[in-house]
Amino acid sequence: MTADTPADAPATPPAFDPFALPPLREVIARHGLGARKALGQNFLLDLNLTGRIVRGAAIAPGTSVVEVGPGPGGLTRAILASPAARLVAVERDTRFIEALGDVVAAAAGRLSIVEADALTVDPVDLVPAPRAIVANLPYNVATPLLIGWLKRIEDYASLTLMFQKEVADRLLARPGSKSYGRLSVITNWRAEVQPLLTLPPQAFTPPPKVESTVVRLTPRANPEPADWRTMEAVTAAAFGQRRKMLRQSLKALGNAEALLAAAGIPPTARAEEVDVAGFAALARAVKDGI
């Protein structure tokens, strides 16, 4: 520490050069890492691109990062080149654990790999606060992982996540749009969602069928008060029959007309017209037993 560094300033992590290690194509060839479709394996091999994603994540010095699905390590290297204090990467496919050995060695103690199914791991248990998640998510488990993390979003500084574009469109959708649905409401209730970049299939090896979008989610400072389970129940009922008027689709939850009146929503409204504040008001009315 130099004389003018405040005592509580996070230590600057040692420099890490993502390009100093063997190229990712060589790592894949050497370890025979053919992509497994069932595990959503579409790799980013361009380190300039992974660098752009991590710059968009805006990781503050001293932050501990969790990455889900490091694969051959393109994004992993970029995270290590950021000011992140440390990185824990959770990978389900054993083949990559050995292949990541060079990165672990070059990371000088800042990287550890956990071999596990990310659906069974709570990142909050892996690293201390302040913490962030950065991941090019396996598409087959992306939505359940996001829902799990949103439940404790206040425990994170940010989540920077790659989704297939159609899912990202739902996260970014506003009332009245075709993509607006349950996931839009639940996500925007708890988080601010910012699009970072959209990538064509050719950016990946092997290319997926669809475009992908990286979004950055940060916890909303003052989310509308509502209880998580009731919010899930109300949005499930409302969007389960999205073409129907809410006075019809909410019947399973009680006196639909009274609930809508208590929430200040016209009985003829449809789910896609109601904003987050409206759904939270409905959830409160349900919880209050109206």
Does residue 69 bind ligand SAM (CB under 6 A)?
yes
| Phi (first) and psi of residue 15, to 5 degrees | -60, 140
DSSP characters for 136-193? E--GGGHHHHHHHHHTTGGG-SEEEEEEEHHHHHHHH--TTSTT-SHHHHHHHHHEEE
Does residue 40 bind ligand SAM (CB under 6 A)?
yes
Among residues 77, 86, 92, 170, the one that binds ligand SAM under rule CB under 6 A: 92
Beta bridge mates, 199: 212
Does residue 118 bind ligand SAM (CB under 6 A)?
yes
Among residues 39, 49, 58, 106, the one that binds ligand SAM under rule CB under 6 A: 39
Q: How far apart are the first and last CA of the chain?
A: 60
Among residues 33, 57, 80, 90, the one that binds ligand SAM under rule CB under 6 A: 90
Among residues 28, 57, 75, 231, the one that binds ligand SAM under rule CB under 6 A: 75
Structure tokens at 65: 């990062």
In angstroms, what is the minimal distance from the CB of 160 to ligand SAM? Answer: 12
SS3 85: coil
Does residue 141 bind ligand SAM (CB under 6 A)?
yes
Does residue 80 bind ligand SAM (CB under 6 A)?
no
Local structure of residue 29 (DSSP, 8 states): H
Q: Which single residue is written with the structure tokens 């980013």?
A: 44
In angstroms, what is the minimal distance from the CB of 87 to ligand SAM? Answer: 12
- Contact 258/290 with Cβ under 8 angstroms? yes
Using the rule CB under 6 A, give the single segment among 6-14, 112-120, 188-196, 250-258 that binds ligand SAM.
112-120
Question: Based on CB atoms, which residue is closest to ligand SAM, 42 or 63?
Answer: 42
Question: How far lies 187's CA from each of 47, 149, 228, 282, in Å?
Answer: 30, 10, 11, 17
Q: Give the span between the Cα atoms of 282 and 267, in whole angstroms.
A: 12
Does residue 47 bind ligand SAM (CB under 6 A)?
no
Does residue 82 bind ligand SAM (CB under 6 A)?
no
- Binding residues for ligand SAM, how many (CB under 6 A)? 23
Does residue 74 bind ligand SAM (CB under 6 A)?
yes
Does residue 93 bind ligand SAM (CB under 6 A)?
yes
Does residue 68 bind ligand SAM (CB under 6 A)?
yes
In angstroms, what is the minimal distance from the CB of 126 to ligand SAM? Answer: 12
Question: Based on CB atoms, which residue is closest to ligand SAM, 92 or 247?
Answer: 92
Does residue 70 bind ligand SAM (CB under 6 A)?
yes
Among residues 18, 62, 138, 278, the one that binds ligand SAM under rule CB under 6 A: 138
Question: How far lies 253's CA from each of 240, 249, 268, 270, 275, in Å?
Answer: 13, 9, 17, 16, 19
Does residue 117 bind ligand SAM (CB under 6 A)?
yes
Compute, in degrees rounded to 10, the torsion defined by CA atoms 250, 255, 261, 265. Answer: 0
Question: Could you give the count of Cα atoms lying within 13 Å of 224 in the half-sphere of its Cβ?
Answer: 20
Residues near ligand SAM (CB under 6 A)? 39-44, 68-71, 74-75, 90-93, 96, 117-119, 136, 138, 141
